[in-house]
Amino acid sequence: MNFLLVYAHNEPKSFTASLHNAAQSILTQQGHQVVTSDLFGVGFHPVAERYDFTTLSGEHYNYMNEQEVAAKHDLAYSPDIIEEIQKVKTADVVLFFFPLWWNAPPAMLKGWFDRVLTKGTAWDGNHLFSTGLLRGKAAGVVVSVGDPENFYRPDGLHKATVQQMLYPLLHGTLAFCGFNVLEPFVAYGLTAANDFGIQEQLRDCSVRLSNIESNPRFIYKF
């Protein structure tokens, strides 16, 4: 299968980097084609603006409308967006590696969603959720969390699970575009983790990723 790994961490020695590197090596060993978008590494620009389009409709400027117009004009997007769209089109599975910052993806990764999953290539008014333009592909997140798991319970500090925190991404973005969304892999408690805990989480993640086709689907329950 073709894998796209979208990796968003600013530090090569981070645990998120280790998770990404482990995934890359396991999936490659299994004979998959693996491509990485290293967003911090390439200095990806996360801000959605007019320069994202090589043509403008001339109508009242609205970013989403311009996305749709550009899709119809042979992908009239800036080159960095076209490159990412092509990677997504080629992929059977897209995996996102990121740290949970403010209970959400870092701005760098949010900008990838804002700019790359365009109206006209990832979804449109007639193609969303089960009919989304990326249907048939799978998507999953591998997320590093500083706090321990018991902080992410109804009676814990955050009063919600990480899955609930990520609902805007898992359901509101990935499922919206038609992806089959996998149950997230969450590495908890990294702030206080020792080497042993870290190695164990790396191993758990590797096991999950080496059996990607039998991974559970994300089913959201409030």
The DSSP annotation for 67-125 comes to: HHHHHHTT--B-HHHHHHHHHHHH-SEEEEEEE-BTTB--HHHHHHHHHHS-BTTTBBT
151 belongs to the binding site for a second copy (CB under 8 A): no
CA atoms within 13 A on the CB side of 185: 25
Choose one: 23-31, 58-66, 90-98, 179-187; the region binding a second copy (CB under 8 A): 58-66
Q: Which residue, 1 or 104, is less far from a second copy as judged by CB?
A: 104
104 belongs to the binding site for a second copy (CB under 8 A): yes
Q: Which amino acid, residue 85? A: I
42 belongs to the binding site for a second copy (CB under 8 A): no
For residue 180, what are the β-bridge partners? 138
Q: Rounded to 5 degrees, what are φ and ψ at 159?
A: 60, 20
Query: 145: which 2 tokens?
Result: 């969390």
63 belongs to the binding site for a second copy (CB under 8 A): yes
204 belongs to the binding site for a second copy (CB under 8 A): no
List 159, 210, 211, 217, residue binding a second copy (CB under 8 A): 159
Work out how close the CB of 32 gets to a second copy at its nearest, in angstroms, rounded to a whole number: 28
Work out how close the CB of 124 gets to a second copy at its nearest, in angstroms, rounded to a whole number: 12
Question: Which residues are catalytically annotated?
Answer: 146, 152, 158
